[in-house]
Amino acid sequence: MFRYILKRILLLIPIILGVLLVILFIMELTPGDPATIMLGTQANPAAVQALNEELGYYDPFPVKYFNYVKNALQGDFGHSWQTGKPVFDAILRRFPVTLKLAFYSVLLCAAVGIPLGVISAKKQYSVLDMACTSFAMVFTSMPRFWLGLLLVLLFSVHLGWVPPHGIGTWKHYVLPVVTLAAPTTARIMRLTRSTMLETIRQDYVRTACAKGASERRITVIHELKNALLPVITYLGIEFGMLLSGAILIETVFSMQGISTMMINAIRMKDTPQVTASILFFAVLVCITNLLVDVMYAVIDPRIRAKYAKAK
């Protein structure tokens, strides 16, 4: 088990280096040089050239990549061209907002999506099942940011229950979390439904029935435990997706998270800030996926047994 986890962590390193390579390569395509952006177009050409040289603008790409990795390992992701402050400080300062948004959303997805999926499967083709399925289709088809706008219109503008934007209190998080969670909840519900439908027809469920186990015991111990494995993996993957999905939601609700900072940095052509923000998100998603894989191995006895034997 330990060896499996170690192997997965080691495999993460080349992936992160690769992600960094791809992102740096893309950002390398940005037209314009840093000094002109920092000093303005009227600046002294000699000063521009000197600053560009100092920032390593004229270095070939492999050298830039190597330097970036070297500095990043020492915790230095460059300085913002706009403010001159280390980019990572700004990211860490704003990270809690984005993390809270994604985390609460994932909780909401699980709390609503899984029970609805189970009930839909147990009462297949009932009115509730049909209703859930239709709602799921609708929620996955509408743009998230538009759902956000509609919720603001209804609950902030007309009813005045919650504030439309900002991050001050828990009330500020209600609408963004619901908006972000809605399409994912729909997908979780659909997935739970189909895995439940599969397990309901398994032989061991029939055996349990024949042995006279109570309906409730069968549902919880025999069906749910097996049906939830893929759902949990999916929830983990979705957590990564929710982190990046927060980009649009933060814009809709003017929340001061990483995404709004990143979009602002893109407008200001602040390349180090943009690179570091995108990299931060991407690495976070990679780590989440790793945790999901490891967790999957830990909770599924079948996979655990496979690795125990291999040793």
Partner 1 sequence: MKVTQTGIQKSLRKARRNRNAEIFRRFRKNKLAVIGLVVFLAFAVVAICADFIADYETEAISMNPGNRLQKPSREHLFGTDGAGRDQLARIVHGARVSLSIGFFTTLISMVLGGLLGAMSGYYGGVFDEVLMRLMDILLSIPVILMSIAIVSALGPSMMNLLIAITISQVPAFTRIVRSSVLTVVSEDYIEAARVCGARDFRIIVREVLPNAIGPIIVQATMSVASMILLAAGLSFIGLGIQPPQPEWGNMLSESREFMRDYPYLVVIPGIVIAISVFSINLIGDGLRDALDPKLRN
Of these, 6, 137, 209, 295, which contacts partner 1 (CB under 8 A)? 137
The answer to whether 62 touches 24, Cβ cutoff 8 Å, is: no
Of these, 90, 132, 241, 261, which contacts partner 1 (CB under 8 A)? 241
Of these, 1, 6, 9, 26, which contacts partner 1 (CB under 8 A)? 26
Cβ atoms < 10 Å from Cβ of 210: 8
The answer to whether 102 touches 242, Cβ cutoff 8 Å, is: yes
The Cα–Cα gap between 293 and 121 comes to: 26
Q: Which two tokens stand for residue 205?
A: 């469920």
Of these, 216, 267, 302, 309, which contacts partner 1 (CB under 8 A)? 267
Output the smallest distance, CB 123 to partner 1, in A. 15
Span interacting with partner 1, options 34-42, 85-93, 98-106, 247-255, rule CB under 8 A: 247-255
Dump the DSSP string for 157-186: IIS--S-SS-SSSTHHHHHHHHHHHHHHHH
Which among 194, 177, 167, 169 has a CA at the least distance from the CA of 112? 177
| 282 binds partner 1 per the rule CB under 8 A | yes
The answer to whether 94 touches 58, Cβ cutoff 8 Å, is: no
Of these, 152, 162, 178, 261, which contacts partner 1 (CB under 8 A)? 152
Output the smallest distance, CB 305 to partner 1, in A. 26
The Cα–Cα gap between 22 and 62 comes to: 12
User: Residue 134 is which amino acid?
Assistant: S
Span interacting with partner 1, options 61-69, 80-88, 166-174, 243-251, rule CB under 8 A: 243-251
**Long-range pairs for 168-176: beta carbons < 8 A, 24 or more residues apart:** 172/253, 172/255, 173/100, 173/101, 173/104, 175/148, 175/151, 175/253, 176/101, 176/148, 176/249, 176/250, 176/252, 176/253, 176/255
By CB under 8 A, what part of segment 174-193 binds partner 1?
none
Span interacting with partner 1, options 67-75, 90-98, 207-215, 262-270, rule CB under 8 A: 262-270
Of the two residues 30 and 49, which places its CB atom closer to partner 1 in the complex? 30
Span interacting with partner 1, options 60-68, 87-95, 152-160, 219-227, rule CB under 8 A: 152-160
Span interacting with partner 1, options 14-22, 53-61, 67-75, 173-181, rule CB under 8 A: 14-22
Q: Name the residues that contact partner 1, by CB under 8 A.
A: 14-15, 18-19, 21-23, 26-31, 137-138, 140-146, 149-150, 152-153, 157, 194, 197-198, 240-241, 243-245, 247-248, 251, 262-263, 266-267, 274, 278, 281-282, 285-286, 289
